[in-house]
Structure 1
Amino acid sequence: MASTADPCDLDAYLARIAHDRPLRVDAACLADLHEAHQAAIPFENLDVLLGRPIRLDLASVQEKLIHARRGGYCFEHATLFKAALEQVGFHCRLLAARVLVGAPTTPRARTHALLEVDTPQGQYLADVGFGGAGPLHPLPLLPGLVSHQPGSAHRLRHEGGLWVLEGDVGAGWSDLYAFTLEAQLPIDIEMANHFVSTHPSSVFRQIVTAQRVRRTRRAVLRGSTLEVRVNCHSETREINAEEELLPLLAQEFGLVFPPGTRFTAQV
């Protein structure tokens, strides 16, 4: 994870996300950075399937997500976004959440990372690493306030000491994840990252996934199914052959791999 001795290369980050607007420590700038980050850097688990370790030190995350123009999953996104925001001047706290998608019958571990960010306009939930169902913009940390964003809506509720993020990206409201405001230490995230990237039951060891959120287009590849949502219109197609995968990753997600690359998960 980032430290004051290991600063973010802010110029390289801003070039990667194509952000050239003035930087200010306020809610509007936070929203600009949040949207630009997701539009440029996809959510993906492909290194896990290639048997490569997921390293969370800032140098490794910057090399992968910025210089190699790859994506990553929540721990990598949160590491990079937190470091960039702190370089701008924001104060952030790293939080952990239990994913609720799919209405699990038994509690899941806290395997999702997100941020609480202070602004002069109040505290915000910032999450650039939840993939296709995540919010395009940060949400004020206020219960019941619906944030309408292009192609989606999100809101928070507060119950029993937990905050729950709900989302609607076209199929009605559903619970996405639950979290508290307890700040996480780097070792907490390292432990969660180890489980997600190595445990046989982790979904990220089982299927290919690549997801990208833009203002009018959300693309989600899970296994052999690609769903593309443009505004309120959704189309789904099946990837029927392995040779279709690499061109799709390049064209839809900006992820380029050498010809012949094969992932452990079959599509």
Structure 2
Amino acid sequence: MSDSASAPRFDLDAYFGRIGWAGGRRPDAATLRGVQLAHLRAIPFENLDALGGRAPSLDLADLMAKLVHGRRRGGYCYEHNTLFAAALEALGVRVTLLTARVVLGADRFADRPRTHMALLAELPGDPRPYLADVGFGALGSLLEPVPLIADTEFHDAGRRHRLVHAPGRGPLETWVLQAHRAGDWQAQYAFTVEPFEPSDYEVINWHVATNPRSPFARRPYVQRLTPDAHLLLDGDRLTVTRTDDGTVTERKLPGETEARRALAEEFGIDAPEGLTLLR
């Protein structure tokens, strides 16, 4: 991601302490899988900065302060994957930043702009690059990285995924991440392996956070992953999906106080003072 000799050394000890990772530090597939899953289970997905009308900082020092040292906040895809990319590079993994179209529920892929950040991870001695992603806020997200191989089903910590090709107009192949849900393969996002730079995400991040038409600027969207369940707060709806049998329970939060309590107790998030969650 960055070859700058002046970049500060990434604090892997603090990051691993935050995500509870006590495993190996070799840049291999087992470490890559374990660190991604640990990150997902430790740091929640949330859009509270955007809901408050500002784009969150993507500066690595700010991300460490908010997501690692702060411990009572999370972030959305640009924050999560910028932090994850820095950790992987500190481990000796080569990382390429990718930008995807979120096509879940879309009739045409081209109708969705490229707004999601994902990562391509290359391991020393391994000819296969991996799609890695700790920032996709959906039930169809990857729990572990998968090799960039088409038409092969992967089982990642209890979920089923595959990558397929789709027609595209550009010179690069279009890849589609699919998740197996409700008895069918559902497209999650589409991407090419064109490299993007941190400066590109400054623009995308600002647009997604501050555009009044962006869903992230209009209602709270928060998720937390545990070994037993996936928790989602979407507006005033709290949904819990069990990992073992897929049982779904949903309840409506009656007001602001209950929403703040749910964030604190269910998601481990302290909402900023003065922020109105339910509008």
| Distance in 2 separating the partners of 1:12 and 1:170 | 39
Are positions 1:168 and 2:168 aligned together?
A: no
Secondary structure at the counterpart of residue 111 of structure 2: coil
Match of 2:104 in 1: 101
**Distance change >3 Å, CA 114–CA 49, structure 1 → 2:** same
**Distance change >3 Å, CA 147–CA 214, structure 1 → 2:** farther
Alignment of 1:179-190 (within 5 A): 179-190=191-202
How far residue 31 of structure 1 moved from its aligned partner, in angstroms, is: 0.4
Are positions 1:250 and 2:252 aligned together?
A: no
Counterpart residue type for residue 154 of structure 2 = S
Match of 1:79 in 2: 82
> Which runs of 5 or more residues in structure 1 are unaligned?
none
Are positions 1:262 and 2:275 aligned together?
A: yes
Alignment of 1:28-67 (within 5 A): 28-67=30-69
| Distance in 1 separating the partners of 2:256 and 2:158 | 30
Q: Deviations over 1:4-27 (max 9, x none)?
A: 513321111011001111211111
Aligned length, in residue pairs: 265
How far residue 216 of structure 1 moved from its aligned partner, in angstroms, is: 3.0
Moved more, 42-51 or 214-223: 214-223
**Distance change >3 Å, CA 171–CA 243, structure 1 → 2:** farther
**Distance change >3 Å, CA 171–CA 191, structure 1 → 2:** farther
Moved more, 100-109 or 68-77: 100-109
Alignment of 1:127-166 (within 5 A): 127-133=133-139, 134-160=141-167, 161-166=173-178
| Distance in 2 separating the partners of 1:215 and 1:138 | 17
Secondary structure at the counterpart of residue 215 of structure 1: coil
**Distance change >3 Å, CA 215–CA 123, structure 1 → 2:** farther
**Distance change >3 Å, CA 215–CA 146, structure 1 → 2:** farther
| Distance in 2 separating the partners of 1:183 and 1:215 | 33
Sequence identity percentage? 43
Q: Deviations over 1:106-133 (max 9, x none)?
A: 6222110010001244211001000232
| Distance in 2 separating the partners of 1:264 and 1:244 | 10
| Distance in 1 separating the partners of 2:232 and 2:183 | 15
Moved more, 227-236 or 41-50: 227-236
How far residue 263 of structure 1 moved from its aligned partner, in angstroms, is: 2.3
| Distance in 1 separating the partners of 2:45 and 2:181 | 17
**Distance change >3 Å, CA 151–CA 247, structure 1 → 2:** farther
How far residue 183 of structure 1 moved from its aligned partner, in angstroms, is: 0.6
Are positions 1:221 and 2:233 aligned together?
A: yes
> Which runs of 5 or more residues in structure 2 are unaligned?
168-172
Counterpart residue type for residue 86 of structure 2 = A
8 Å contact kept, 1:164–1:176 = yes
Match of 1:241 in 2: 255
How far residue 264 of structure 1 moved from its aligned partner, in angstroms, is: 5.4
RMSD: 1.9
How far residue 169 of structure 1 moved from its aligned partner, in angstroms, is: 4.4
Moved more, 71-80 or 116-125: 116-125
| Distance in 1 separating the partners of 2:138 and 2:229 | 10
| Distance in 1 separating the partners of 2:228 and 2:86 | 27
| Distance in 1 separating the partners of 2:161 and 2:104 | 14
TM-score for both structures, normalised by structure 1: 0.92
| Distance in 2 separating the partners of 1:124 and 1:263 | 39
8 Å contact kept, 2:81–2:134 = yes
Counterpart residue type for residue 109 of structure 1 = P
8 Å contact kept, 1:6–1:58 = no
How far residue 47 of structure 1 moved from its aligned partner, in angstroms, is: 1.2
**Distance change >3 Å, CA 16–CA 241, structure 1 → 2:** same
Match of 1:68 in 2: 70
- Pick the aligned partner of 1:118 from 105, 122, 127: 122
Counterpart residue type for residue 97 of structure 1 = A
TM-score for both structures, normalised by structure 2: 0.89
